[in-house]
Amino acid sequence: MNSQSIISDGREKDTYFVTPNDIINTLPTDKNYCLFLDIDGTLAPFQIHPEHSFIPNTTLEVIKKLLN
């Protein structure tokens, strides 16, 4: 693990690159989904390095409530 794989708060970041079809093919077809593409500065605080951006748990909880 190198310093580039660590987020500033000490968590190890997981970065995966997949095609849209890879994602679609893994999802059950009996559910509805919502894909958020603009996270940095929209759903999460702005970061100098966008790869350090993640959706805070409080925001995830709001999204979960909206889905219900």
Work out the angle at residue 39's Cα, subtended by the Cα atoms of residues 38 and 45, and round it to the nearest 5 degrees: 135
d(CA 9, CA 29): 36
- Lowest-pLDDT choice from 9-13, 34-38, 39-43, 61-65: 9-13
Confidence tier at 1 by pLDDT (50, 70, 90): very low
- Higher-scoring residue by pLDDT: 20, 27: 27
pLDDT tens digits, one per residue of 43-66: 888 888 878 888 889 988 998 898
Q: Is the pLDDT of residue 10 over 60?
A: no
Q: Is the pLDDT of residue 2 over 50?
A: no
> Are the C-beta atoms of 46 and 40 separated by less than 8 Å?
yes
> Are the C-beta atoms of 59 and 44 separated by less than 8 Å?
yes
